[in-house]
Amino acid sequence: DEGFGGILADDMGLGKTVQALSLFLREKEAGRTVRALIVCPASLLFNWQNEAARFAPSLPCQALMGTAATRARQIAGWQDGVLVTSYDQLKRDVEAYRGIELTHVFLDEAQYIKNHSTQNAKAVKAIVSRQRFALTGTPIENRLSELWSIFDFLMPGFLYSYTRFRERFEIPIVRGGNTAALERLGRMTEPFILRRLKQEVLRELPPKTENVHRIELD
């Protein structure tokens, strides 16, 4: 209610999509409007639509498809429920969302905005929404700046400007091994990150097995 966002950083397979849908259903049951935008990789567009049909059939959910003109009409006619789009589409359609205030924006695979200077990051940060959330099992893959970029989407200014973040946290932690700076950053971000591991939730699951198949190209 205060407009805070957060990162759901659960391991893969623990139902991050279902948890997001549960939030929307709770809002509708409380009599509040849901106008939520899901931004995800193109390969997951219909996965969101299928999961909504399965677990939240009372929640209108549509995947954005077609030409730029078709998508613009779909966005303009969207009044409630969930709209699912891809990062690539959002870069092209960002102007179509101008003047539309959303209740929620969820980034699936939020590591797509880990580089704050990319068009992906700039497009999602231009969307106006009451609350913002990120779904990613890897909020930090290579650099501390990736965490800053996600928080800059969630709650702009919470981790300061990137210049100040770099001075106060990134350089002291990465170059100087400053444990005090690391602890301070942890205290600031921990309340907004929920991470569960598979062994904590589904103890009966066996360890992940990876099979590598090398294929010689023709």
> What integer pLDDT is reported at residue 141 of this predicted model?
84
> What integer pLDDT is reported at residue 206 of this predicted model?
64
> What integer pLDDT is reported at residue 103 of this predicted model?
95
Q: Are strands 6-8 and 129-135 parallel, antiparallel or unpaired?
A: parallel
> What integer pLDDT is reported at residue 123 of this predicted model?
96
> What integer pLDDT is reported at residue 193 of this predicted model?
92
> What integer pLDDT is reported at residue 18 of this predicted model?
92
> What integer pLDDT is reported at residue 204 of this predicted model?
62
Q: Is the pTM of this model over 0.85?
A: yes
To the nearest 10 degrees (0 to 180), the angle between helices 16-29 and 45-55 is 50
> What integer pLDDT is reported at residue 200 of this predicted model?
67
Burial of 87 (0-12, 13-18, 19+ CB in 10 A): buried
Integer Cα distance of 102 and 34 in angstroms: 8
For the chain, which ranges sit under pLDDT 50?
Answer: none
Integer Cα distance of 110 and 157 in angstroms: 18
Q: At 16, give phi and psi (nearest 5°).
A: -65, -35
